Structure 1
Amino acid sequence: MNVLKKLNDPNLTAKFQQYCGVSSKNVENCDECQKHAQERDTWDLKTGDRCADCKVTAPRSNTRHALLFYLFSYASSLGNEVFYLLFYPYCVWNMDSVLIRRTALVWSLCMYVGQAGKDLLWWPRPASPPVIRLETEFLQESSMPSTHAASATAIPFMLAYYLYDRYQISPYLLLPAAVVWCSLVCLSRLYLGVHTILDLLCGILISILVMAVTSPFWEDFDWYQQTHPFAPFVVLTTAIAMCTVLYPKSKDGSCSHGDAVQIVAVLTGVSIGSWLNFHFQFTSTNDHSGPYDVIIPSVRDLAMQILRFFVGVVIIGLLKVTLKEITVRLFSKLFGLKVPNQEHPSVKLAYKFAVYGVIGFSVVFLVPFIHCMFGLERESYFKEVV
C-alpha cells in the first residue's frame, strides 16, 4: 500500500517536470488570470478561467528544454482524437486493413475499460501545486487510469505483433519502436502535469491484461464480424449495451462517457462496413498467405497514398460536420428540448454514437468505394479479409 501511495505522489510528477526544466515562469497568463490563480493558491487554470490572451508556452531557459516541450507535446497528441481520426484511416486506405482492423479492435477495448474506469473511480488529477499543469484540455476527466498510457501500449505493440506476423520484418526493429512510442507518450503525461506514475502504470496494465485475455479470439472475431449473417445485429446490440446499461454512471461534467461512446461507435461502423464489403462481394479472401515482403513505395505510390488520404479526409470531415449539425438537432427534438443542445447528456451520447458510427462505416466502405470511382483504389484492400 505504501508503494502505491508513493507512486501516486504528485511530488514525483513535479520532480520530473523540474528535471525537464518546467517551472512556474513557463506558465504565462494575463494579470487578471494570475490574480485569480493566486486566490485559488494553484497553478491550475482551467480553460474556462482563462481569458483569450492566456497561453502556455515552451520553457525558455535553454534550447534543450524547448525541444523537450515540443517533443512531449507531440508525443501526447498520439493519444488524442485527431491522431486516431488521421492515423487509422490512412493505414486502412494505404497499408493493411487487416492489421489496422485488429489493432483498432484491441485498442477500443483497452480505451473502453480505461474510460469506464475513470468514471467508476473518479480519481482527481495530481495536485497543483506542486504539479504545474501545461495542459488543461482534459481536466474535466478523472485521472485514473491514464487512457493515453493504455492507448500507447495497445497501438504500438499490437502493430508490432501483426507486422511481425504478417510481414517479413525483424522483431529487433519493431519492439524498440513500440517501446519508444509507449515511453514517450507516458512521459509526456508526466511532463504536462496531468498524471501520476500510478495512473500511467494502471493504464499500461489495463492494455496488457486486455491483450492477454482477448488474444485467442482476435482472428476468429474478425472473421465472424465480416462473414456471419447475424454479425451486424450482434455487434450493434452489444455496442448499444456497452454505451448505456453496461457503462458505469458518469459524474456531471465528465467527458469520459462521451469518449467511450465515440470509440465503440467507430468500431461498430467499421464492423458493419466490413460486413457489407464481404456480403456485397467487394472483398474476398487472398489465396496467398503471409508473411509478405515489405515493399518500399515508389514516388507514384506515395502520390497515390497522398491523394487517397486527401480525398478520404475531405469526405470524413464533411460527414462529421454535416452529420453533427443534423443529429444534434434531431436528437434534441426527440428528447423534447426547445432548442438544440449538444451538451445535453442524452443528446450528446446519441449524436456521438450516430456520427462516429458513420465515420467508422465510411472509412472501410464509403471512402474505398469513392476511391474506386476516381481510379485511386488500392487493389490489395479488397483481398484483406483475413
Structure 2
Amino acid sequence: MARKIFKSIAVDMDAGTHDDRLYSAALHPWRSWLRKFMLPFVRQETPWLAAMQKRIRTPFLDHFFIWTANLGTHTFFMIFLPILIWFGNAHLGRSIACLTAFGVFWSGFLKDFMCLPRPLSPPVHRLTMSQGAALEYGFPSTHSTNSISVALYLIAVACDSLPPQSPGRMLCILGAMFYATSVVFGRIYCGMHSITDVIGGTILAFMLYWTQWASRDILDAFVTSDSYWVFLTIPVCLTLVGLHVCFMGVVMGVFPGSWMCNNAELCRLGLESSAENVSFGLMPLFIILMKVIIGVTMLFIWRLACKKVCYIILPPIYRAFNLPHRKFEVGAR
C-alpha cells in the first residue's frame, strides 16, 4: 500500500486566514455558507479590539490576564481536578472532569467545523504564553467554554448544598463569577478571541452545564453500580481520541477508575477518611501541603513517563497500519 503524502501549507499564515476559495472548495456547500455568514462578525470586531487594547492596556493588566489564561488550560485542570478527589469530593471532581473534557472536545470540533480565524494580528496584539495559538481556529473560545461551564456548576453546587444565609455560599458564588469573568474577558483583552468567539463559547458552556447538572445522578449511579458497562467508555473514547487526545484520555480513566475505586474497600475508605479528616492546625496543614506536593509531582512524573512510552510504542504501530503520521507535525497542516 502506498504511503500517504502530506502537502505542506505555509505556516506563516494564521489558521482560517487562507484564501476564501480554498475553504469554498474544501468544505461542504452549507458549511462554507455558514463560515461566510459568520466571518464578517469576526472581521468587523478586529478594529474594535485593537482600539480597546490601545485604550485600556497596562503592564499590570497584561500580566494579570496572561496568567489567568492558565486557569483554562489542560495543565491547570490536570492539577486542580485530582486535588478535589484526593480530599474526598470525588463527585465534584468527576463532574468538572466531564465538563472540561466535553468542553474541549466540542469546542475543538466546532473550531475545525467552522474554520473561523482569530482576530487579526496586527492590528490586534496577541498576549499569550502559548507559541501555537495562531495554528488554532478561533470560534468558539475553549477557555470561555470551560471557565463558564465550571463556574456555573460550582454555583449550582453551592446553591444546592449550602444554606442561603451561609457566607460560604456567597463566597463560592463570587469566586466562581470572578474566575469566569477574568478568564473570559482576558481572552478578549489579550487579543486571542473576538466577542463572537466568546459568545459562542458561552452558549456551548451553558448547554454543557445544563446537560451535566441534569444527568449528575445518572453518571454517579453509573460509576457506583456493580455493572461492568462503565468499561464501554474506553472503546467509545478511543473512537473519539483523534479529536482531542488529552481529555478523551481523562474520561477513559475517570469512569473506570472511579468504578474500580468504589468497588475497592481500601480506596473507598481512603476517600471517605480524606473527606472526614479535613481540619486546621499546623500538623494537618503540613499533611495537606505534603499530600498536594507529592501528588502533583507524581502526576507530572506519570505524564512524562507515559509520553516516553508512547513515543516508543506508537510509531511502529502507525507505520505498520500506514496511519497518517509525521514527526513534530505542525498543527495547522
Quick check: 1:303 aligned with 2:286?
yes
Aligned to 2:171: 173
1:267 corresponds in structure 2 to 251
Residue 66 (structure 1) shift: 1.7
Q: 2:65 aligns with which of 59, 72, 75?
A: 72
Q: Distance in 2 between matches of 1:79 and 1:205?
A: 17
Q: Which moved more, 1:180-189 or 1:93-102?
A: 93-102
The two structures have a TM-score, normalised by structure 2, of 0.75
CA spacing shift, 1:296–1:164, aligned 2, 3 Å: farther
Counterpart in 2 of 1:49?
A: none
In structure 2, the partner of 1:148 is: 143
Question: How far apart, CA to CA, are the structure 1 residues paired with 2:191 and 2:307?
Answer: 32
Contact 2:117 2:137 in 1 (8 A): yes
Assess if the C-alpha contact under 8 Å between 1:73 and 1:188 holds in 2: yes
**Aligned residue identity for 1:298:** G
Q: Following TM superposition, where does structure 1 have runs of at least 4 consecutive aligned residues deviating by more than 3 angstroms?
A: 1-4, 166-171, 282-285, 340-345
* 1:284/1:180 CA distance change after superposition, 3 Å: same
Q: Work out the CA distance in 1 between the residues paired with 2:191 and 2:162.
A: 39
Structure-2 change in CA distance of 1:6 and 1:266 (3 Å): closer
Higher helix share: 2
Deviations 1:125-177 (A, max 9, x none): 11122211222531111101000000110122212322343455454332222
Give unpaired runs (5+ residues) of structure 1. 22-64, 245-256, 346-386
Give the alignment partner of residue 241 of structure 2, picking from 240, 243, 255.
Answer: 243
Normalised by the length of structure 1, the TM-score is: 0.66
Does the CA-based 8 Å contact 1:226-1:271 persist in structure 2? no
**CA gap 1:232/1:190 in 2 versus in 1, 3 angstroms:** same
Letter in structure 1 aligned against 2:280: P
User: Structure 1 residue 303: deviation in Å?
Assistant: 1.2
Identity %: 19
- The 3-state SS of whatever aligns with 1:139 is helix
Q: Please state whether the residue corresponding to 2:313 is helix, strand or coil.
A: helix
RMSD of the TM alignment (CA)? 3.0
Alignment pair present for 1:104 and 2:94: no
Distance 1:206 1:140, change over 3 A: same
Q: Is the 8 A contact 2:152 2:209 kept in 1?
A: no
Secondary structure of the 1:282 match is: helix
Residue 211 (structure 2) aligned to one of 206, 210, 213:
213
Counterpart-to-counterpart distance in 2, 1:140 and 1:321: 24
Distance 2:170 2:265 in 1: 38
Is residue 114–residue 145 contact of structure 1 (8 Å, CA) maintained in 2? yes
Aligned residues: 282
Change (3 A) 1:202 1:82: same
The alpha-carbon deviation at position 184 of structure 1 amounts to 0.6
Question: What is the distance in 1 between the residues matched to 2:38 and 2:111?
Answer: 22
The alignment partner of 2:261 has SS state of helix
* Inter-partner Cα distance in structure 2 for 1:273 and 1:132: 43
Q: Which consecutive unaligned segments of at least 5 residues does structure 2 have?
A: 1-36
Answer whether contact 1:16 1:190 (CA < 8 A) is retained.
no
Alignment of 1:222-233 (within 5 A): 222-233=220-231
Are the structure 2 counterparts of residues 68 and 296 from structure 1 closer, same or farther at C-alpha, using a change threshold of 3 Å?
farther
User: 1:33 is matched with which residue?
Assistant: none
For residues 117 and 18 of structure 1, what CA distance do their matches in structure 2 show?
31
**Larger mean Cα displacement after TM superposition, 2-11 or 210-219:** 2-11
Alignment match, 2:260: 276
Query: How far did residue 200 of structure 1 move?
Result: 0.6
Change beyond 3 A, Cα 1:226–1:327: farther
Change (3 A) 1:164 1:95: farther
Pick closer, same or farther for the CA change 1:310–1:239 going to 2, 3 Å.
same
Shift of 1:12: 2.1
Alignment of 1:57-68 (within 5 A): 65-68=58-61
